[in-house]
Amino acid sequence: MSADNAIIILKTPGEWGFEYRVAHVCAAENLTYEHSDGNPEYVNMLFWDAIVFQKHTDALVYALELERFYGFIEYGVYDLEFPHPFQYYVERAPKH
């Protein structure tokens, strides 16, 4: 059986450079489903409550802590960069 999970460090433009959000994600392919620049619904759903880091190194340290916490991570820790500020995805996500 496949775990189909990863720890993703999402990099988006921020007010003072880049922002990095870290999340444990299942079915990561949904992040780009029908949207090569990020599917607003899934980006918002998976990262809306993520801690925001200003430095990639801090995000990586946290990501490695999450990896240890969850145990088996099929696809490991990896970076994903989208071109729009996070607020772009929040504003375009469907309202439920």
What does the pLDDT look like over 13-57, one tens digit per residue?
998 899 999 999 998 888 888 888 889 999 999 999 999 999 999
Helices of type H across the chain: 40-47, 56-70, 86-92
* Mean pLDDT (whole number) for 71-94: 93
The yes-or-no verdict on residue 76 having pLDDT over 90 is yes
Per-residue pLDDT, 80: 95
Q: Decide which of 9 and 30 is more confident.
A: 9
Q: What is the pTM of this model?
A: 0.91
The per-residue pLDDT of the chain, averaged, comes to: 92
| CB contact at 8 A, 9 and 63 | yes
The yes-or-no verdict on residue 96 having pLDDT over 70 is no
